[in-house]
Chain A
Amino acid sequence: MIKLTVNGKKRLFKGAPFTRLIDALREDFALTGTKEGCGEGECGACTVLLDGEPVNSCLVPVCQADGRKVETVESLGVPEKLSKLQAGFLACGGAQCGICTPGMLMTAHAHLKSGGKADDASVRTALSGNLCRCTGYQDIVKSVIKAAKGGRK
C-alpha cells in the first residue's frame, strides 16, 4: 500500500506499485487536470510537483511517491477564484488548446514559489521542458511575468 499526500490530502493507493503517477492521479484519484502528452518525458504536459519540484508524472512510478507530497493543477485555484498565475494566463492569452496549460502552470508555479526570477530569460529557461504547439510561447511567458509582478504589488 502506498501512502502519499495529494494537494494537501492524505491518499492511499492500493493498486500495482509500478503504476505511473499520472495514471494513479487521473484514474484512481479522479484528478483529470493533469494531461498526458507524449508519454516519454519530452513535452511536460503531465508536469506535477513532487515535494515541490516539477517532474513528468508519466515517468514516475507511484511507488516512488510513497510518503511524499504531490501537487497537481487542481491545487492552484477554482474557476470562481483563480490563482494569480491562472488569472495571468487568462489575461494574457497564455492558453489556446489547453493541453499544455496544466503543465505550464505547475512548472511556472514551482519556479516562482522557489524564488525564481520573473524576467524573460529566467521564465523561458524554467519552462523549457514544457512544449506548446499553439501559442508560440510569447503569451505564456508574458502570462507568467504578469502574474509574478501582480503578486508583488
Chain B
Amino acid sequence: MRGDAKSMTVLSPRTAAEAVKTYAEVPSALPFAGGTDVMVGWNLGQMNGRAVLDLSRVAEWKKIRVVGDGIDLGSLVTHAQIQAHPVLRKRFPLLVAACATVGAAQIQNRGTIGGNIANASPAGDTFPALAVYEATVRAIGPNGRRGVPISEIFAGVKKTTLRPGELIEAVFLPFPDETPTRGIFRKVGTRAAQAISKTVFAGLVWNGKGGVLTGARLAFGSMAPTVRRLYAVEEYLRGRRLNEISISAAAELLPNDVSPIDDIRSTREYRLTVSRNILTAFLKGELK
C-alpha cells in the first residue's frame, strides 16, 4: 500500500517552545526532520493516518555555534552543513568524514544530525565519531532541558532513552583537552556511496613521552544493537607502547565490547574479522 497524504495531519511549530507544547498535546505525532529514513516508510504506507510533527521550521535548531569549550550543533543541522563548517573540519574531522559517507549529496543535504540520532539505527555512521568525541545530546521536553551523554542515548535497535515528550534540541561536541595525536574514521559497506555500513569505526589516540599511549578512544557501529566504545581495548592500551604484541593483544579484546550478528548486510564472522583488521591497521598507523 502506498502512502496516503490525505490521511495524515502535519503540525508545524515555529519555535522550540511551540514544538515541545505541540508534542505534549499530540504525543502520538511522529517528530520529523529531514525525513530521509521516515519517508521510505511513508512510501510503503506505514505512516497513513498519523500526525507528523514537522520540526523543519524551528530556525533556532538549524545553527552551528562555536562556544568557549566546544561546538553546539542544532539538531536540524544537516550532514552537508557539518562537512562545510571550517571549525568542525579542523577540530572534529572524524565527524566530518562520517557525514561524507552517509548516502550521497541528496541524503547529506536533507538528513540531520538530530534525526540521525533519534532514528537510532545500529548502523548510524555518525555515531562512532560522536562516541569518541564524547558528545552530549541535549533534549528539551515538558520538564525543561537535560544533557544525555552519547553513550547513554541509545537503548537498542531504533530505540533511544528520550523520555515521552522530549525532542532533541542540539548535540554538543566538547573540544578535547589535548589535541589527539592521530584519528581515523573508516566505513566498510558494499560500495562507496549509498551503502549502509557492515562495520564502521572511529578512533583517536594520544601519544605521550617515549611512545607510551596516554589515551585512546575507539568505537564501532553496526557491531552491536547500538554504537559501542571499546572500553576493554582502551583500558588495556592506556600506558602501553604500541608494538606487534600490544596491538595484537588489543585486537583480541575486541569481542569484549561488540556482539555482531548475521544479517542481510553481512555476517558475524566477516564483521569481526574486518573490524579487527581496521583496529590493527589504525593502531599500527597504516590507515590514512
Contacts and interface: CB of A to CB of B under 8 A. Distances in A.
A54 B103 CA distance: 13
A44 B52 contact: no
Contact of B106 (A20, A55, A61): A55
Contacts of B239: none
Interface string A11-33: 00001111110010000000000
Given A16-B5, A128-B192, A58 B43 contact: yes
A143 interface: no
A41 B193 contact: no
Chain B CB within 10 A, most for which of A17, A18, A64: A18
B54 interface: yes
Contact of B43 (A19, A40, A47, A107): A40
A16 B39 CA distance: 15
A129 B107 contact: yes
B104 interface: yes
Contacts of B42: 18, 20, 61
Contacts of B130: none
Contacts of B5: 15-20, 23, 61
A107 B105 contact: yes
Contacts of A119: none
Chain B CB within 10 A, most for which of A41, A60, A125, A129: A41
Given A54-B109, A128-B193, A128-B194, A17 B10 contact: yes
A151 to B, nearest CB: 21
Nearest to B51: A18
B109 A18 contact: no
A47 B110 CA distance: 12
Nearest to A19: B5
A19 B10 CA distance: 11
B43 A56 contact: no
A19 B2 CA distance: 12
Interface string A94-131: 00000000000001001100000000000001101111
Interface in A48-88: 50, 53-56, 58-61, 63-64
B3 interface: yes
Nearest to A40: B40
A69 B156 CA distance: 39
Interface string B78-113: 001000000000000000000000011111011000
A18 B10 contact: yes
Contact of A53 (B12, B54, B80, B103): B80
Contacts of B104: 44, 128-130
Contact of A16 (B8, B36, B109): B8
Interface in B24-41: 35-36, 39-40
Given A20-B5, A42-B194, A59 B109 contact: no
Interface of A: 15-20, 23, 39-42, 44, 47, 50, 53-56, 58-61, 63-64, 107, 110-111, 125-126, 128-131
5 contacts: A40-B43, A61-B35, A64-B56, A125-B193, A128-B105
Given A63-B10, A64-B56, A110-B105, 15 more contacts: A17-B5, A19-B5, A20-B5, A20-B42, A39-B43, A40-B40, A41-B39, A54-B105, A54-B109, A59-B39, A61-B10, A63-B54, A64-B35, A128-B105, A128-B194
Top 10 nearest A-B pairs by Cβ distance? Answer: A129-B104, A128-B193, A16-B5, A59-B39, A19-B5, A18-B5, A40-B40, A128-B104, A17-B10, A53-B109
